[in-house]
Structure 1
Amino acid sequence: MSRRAVTLACASCLLLVLAVVGALLPVPYVALYPGPTANTLGDNGKGVPLVQIDGRQTYPADGHLNFTTVTYRGGPEARIDLFTALRGWLSADTAIVPEETIFPKHESQQQVDAENTRQMQDSQENAEAAALHELGIAVPTRVVVNSVQPNMPASGKIQPNDEITSVNGVQTGTVDKVKAETGRIGVGGKAEIGLLRAGKPVRVTLTTAKGQDGKPVVGVVLAEAYRFPFKINISVGDIGGPSAGLMFSLSIVDKLTPGSLTGGKFVAGTGTISPEGQVGPIGGIQQKMIAARRAGATVFLTPKDNCAEALSARPSGLRLVRADTLHGAVQSLNALTSGKGDVPACSK
């Protein structure tokens, strides 16, 4: 064999080795795939209703109201290789997105997972509140202590998860009410705080301090929660994120009202939900539609801000129904079931 042939053969082998090594190099991207979908009118796979209501009359519901999910591969601690990324770019089922889209800088995978879990919990509470508001059932709020600031009047006297019920004898059901009553006291004044701690009433007296804005404070970070009139339990296992809120709300409405929202149809969907019933956009709409259609869905409830993207990737046989609010989604399902009324479609 000539020297030139040997050189070409060696160069070809070297290029092949470099190509293989390069394809296996980790890259800062995440692959998104269609994830599991579950019927909120059914059970969680262990015989337990996915949405269970106790203490209130419920009604049988048929059909499907499926929430949809996205699974991912990659992340700072387990990056995908270049070959996987290239294959994903060529696949209609997969989205390849920059790593920071899913994992913000300076956050570990464990922190992201914890945040997703918190978002799912908040989504469930918002879904319950929205559904009861839609049905005209009163849902009073309560004020809960998220955290206590160090070296402030409340330190050592008020604890996280305490519920503030009154300030100087005035009942408080909102954060604004607590702030208003504290403001009346003035800096250096006495504040008698009524609390519920683990269900037991507690009273503490504090001297207010001067906050950064010059207003009187006691040094607590507050949040509003709800006091539901009956128990609603949502069981979804280790699925995280806020995007199932709309479907949870619809399931609760369906179970608490006679008849069937779906009319036996296979409806799936996605969207965050606010306590007032506003539907918000989500990520991964393409993968969620694919998962829904594969499961058998023929109708997909789509947040209005996701409509343009959804239209460009809609699977064949899947009807997109625009969902702006919970009330609107209920009306759309009633129109689909009865064949009467307008059903808003997605538009670009």
Structure 2
Amino acid sequence: MSRRTSTLVAAVLLVIVVVGVGTIVRVPFVALGPGPTEDTLGVVKGTQVVAVDGLPTYPTSGHLNMTTVSVSDGLTGLQALGFWLAPDRAVVPRDTVYPPGLSNDQVDQQNAAEFSASETNAALAALQQLRLPTRATVADIVPGSAAEGHLQAGDDIVAVRGTPVSTPQQVSDALNGTTPGQTVVVTYRRAGVQADVSIVLGASQDQKKGMLGIQPGVEPITGDITISLGDIGGPSAGLMFALAVVDKLTPGELNGGKFVAGTGTIDASGTVGPIGGIPFKMRAAHDAGAVTFLVPDANCTEAAANAPDGLRLVRVTTLSSAVSALDTLNAGGSPPSCS
């Protein structure tokens, strides 16, 4: 074999090895990109995303879309390189999405819990925005917890330790000063019948006070608000859920009948918080047809630097400011902007 032939053979073998390794060996990175965007005023998989029963509702049109970020995991070296070269993707270390020490299932459970909390906060923020009285409920029971066998999902919580409660925060506050193993009396209402039950409080890893082991919810005094959106996780849809509740419970079209999208966490008081991945969320919204995008104040600088052409950015700090900004847009005015 000549030197030229041997060199060529060696080069071919090297390429085969590199390609083989690149297509088999997994790398500790994930790729982020535009994720699904869903209309919180609409129907997804046959289910109304935001359903209101037992209260007067009003017609809606247009869109109030929540937005997400897609995560591609288990990448090989060549896949990571392909995503890195793609203009609408970003490759980041895996532990920025999946913290070390947590399994994928644990991360998914955490995201699901955050999403559920965002639903509760969105409903409460909307009801407070509309000045409607509320009642605390049991949204779910933690398996194996103190409340299991005593309370059920759907119960109204009337009082804890003799203190009347009407919001999830009041349920939590009523347990201040308690310790695991302490017995407390919870007054609840089930199918219209009120009763008391004694519960021995459990422990929590991150709190010193005793825990009931329930996921508290909130509903209007009369009627029910249900938020359902499949396998979406995380807290960043809170603002758009709250706006959908407000839109359905008030006359007129909050979005002016247009395609509005946005993002932002929300707490029970209506404060809008920052989120991650806003360039991808704006791209998904723009590609779906959005003309206006609601941006948490803390994300405005990044949003302005990455906004697709033709997408109007509106700065928001609270649910009230978001409602006011949309009212201003509908009236032909100029709401606060990120530019």
Q: TM-score range by the shorter chain?
A: 0.7 to 0.9
Which whole-Å deviations, capped at 9, do the CAs of 1:252-311 have from their partners, x for residues lacking one? 111111111111211111111111111111122111111101100011111111112212
Query: For 2:294, which of 292, 301, 305 is the aligned residue?
Result: 301
Kindly state the Cα deviation for residue 195 of structure 1 after the two structures are TM-superposed.
Answer: 3.8
Q: What secondary structure sits across from 2:124 in the alignment?
A: helix
* 2:275 counterpart of 1:279: no
Q: What secondary structure sits across from 1:23 in the alignment?
A: helix
Query: Structure 2: how far apart are the matches of 1:145 and 1:297?
Result: 35
Query: Structure 2: how far apart are the matches of 1:192 and 1:233?
Result: 30
1:15 maps to a residue whose letter is L
Residue 290 of structure 1 corresponds to which residue in structure 2?
A: 283
Query: Structure 2: how far apart are the matches of 1:144 and 1:265?
Result: 33
Residue 204 of structure 2 corresponds to which residue in structure 1?
A: none
Residue 15 of structure 2 corresponds to which residue in structure 1?
A: 16
Kindly state the Cα deviation for residue 45 of structure 1 after the two structures are TM-superposed.
Answer: 4.2
Kindly state the Cα deviation for residue 231 of structure 1 after the two structures are TM-superposed.
Answer: 0.8
Query: Structure 1: how far apart are the matches of 2:260 and 2:160?
Result: 48
Equivalent residue runs for 1:141-156 within 5 Å: 141=136
* 2:34 counterpart of 1:34: yes
8 A contact 2:325–2:335 mirrored in 1? yes
Identify unmatched segments of 5+ residues in structure 2. 202-207
Higher deviation after alignment, 170-179 or 12-21: 170-179
Kindly state the Cα deviation for residue 19 of structure 1 after the two structures are TM-superposed.
Answer: 2.1
8 A contact 1:129–1:226 mirrored in 2? yes
Residue 44 of structure 1 corresponds to which residue in structure 2?
A: 44
* 2:229 counterpart of 1:236: yes
Residue 344 of structure 1 corresponds to which residue in structure 2?
A: 336
Kindly state the Cα deviation for residue 344 of structure 1 after the two structures are TM-superposed.
Answer: 0.8
Residue 218 of structure 2 corresponds to which residue in structure 1?
A: 226
Q: What secondary structure sits across from 2:127 in the alignment?
A: helix
Q: What secondary structure sits across from 1:62 in the alignment?
A: coil
8 A contact 2:142–2:214 mirrored in 1? yes
Higher deviation after alignment, 326-335 or 170-179: 170-179
Equivalent residue runs for 1:162-311 within 5 Å: 165-166=158-159, 169=162, 171=164, 174-175=170-171, 178-179=174-175, 193-196=185-188, 203=196, 225-229=217-221, 230-311=223-304
1:7 maps to a residue whose letter is S
1:294 maps to a residue whose letter is D
8 A contact 2:271–2:318 mirrored in 1? yes
Kindly state the Cα deviation for residue 18 of structure 1 after the two structures are TM-superposed.
Answer: 2.8
8 A contact 1:164–1:193 mirrored in 2? no
Residue 5 of structure 2 corresponds to which residue in structure 1?
A: 6
Kindly state the Cα deviation for residue 337 of structure 1 after the two structures are TM-superposed.
Answer: 0.7
Query: For 1:103, which of 98, 104, 115 is the aligned residue?
Result: 98
2:83 maps to a residue whose letter is G
8 A contact 1:27–1:80 mirrored in 2? yes
1:95 maps to a residue whose letter is A
8 A contact 2:135–2:218 mirrored in 1? yes
Higher deviation after alignment, 169-178 or 331-340: 169-178
Q: What secondary structure sits across from 2:37 in the alignment?
A: strand
8 A contact 1:132–1:138 mirrored in 2? yes
Query: For 2:85, which of 90, 96, 108 is the aligned residue?
Result: 90
Go from structure 1 to structure 2 and tell me whether the alpha carbon gap of 1:207 and 1:293 turns closer, same or farther (over 3 Å shift).
Answer: closer
Q: What secondary structure sits across from 1:71 in the alignment?
A: strand
Higher deviation after alignment, 297-306 or 37-46: 37-46
8 A contact 1:37–1:291 mirrored in 2? yes
Aligned-pair identity in percent equals 43
Residue 55 of structure 1 corresponds to which residue in structure 2?
A: 54
Go from structure 1 to structure 2 and tell me whether the alpha carbon gap of 1:55 and 1:156 turns closer, same or farther (over 3 Å shift).
Answer: closer
2:188 maps to a residue whose letter is L
8 A contact 1:149–1:220 mirrored in 2? no
Q: What secondary structure sits across from 1:70 in the alignment?
A: strand
8 A contact 2:272–2:296 mirrored in 1? yes
Identify unmatched segments of 5+ residues in structure 1. 209-214
For these two proteins, the number of residue pairs brought into alignment is: 326
Query: For 2:313, which of 293, 298, 320 is the aligned residue?
Result: 320
Go from structure 1 to structure 2 and tell me whether the alpha carbon gap of 1:131 and 1:95 turns closer, same or farther (over 3 Å shift).
Answer: same
Q: What secondary structure sits across from 1:31 in the alignment?
A: strand
Which whole-Å deviations, capped at 9, do the CAs of 1:150-189 have from their partners, x for residues lacking one? 9xxx799977979775567554562466346x77xx9xx9
Q: What secondary structure sits across from 2:174 in the alignment?
A: helix
Kindly state the Cα deviation for residue 108 of structure 1 after the two structures are TM-superposed.
Answer: 1.4
1:33 maps to a residue whose letter is G
Higher gyration radius (CA): 1
1:26 maps to a residue whose letter is R
1:43 maps to a residue whose letter is V
Kindly state the Cα deviation for residue 65 of structure 1 after the two structures are TM-superposed.
Answer: 0.7
8 A contact 1:279–1:324 mirrored in 2? yes
8 A contact 2:123–2:219 mirrored in 1? no
Residue 335 of structure 1 corresponds to which residue in structure 2?
A: 328
Kindly state the Cα deviation for residue 116 of structure 1 after the two structures are TM-superposed.
Answer: 1.7
Higher deviation after alignment, 154-163 or 16-25: 154-163
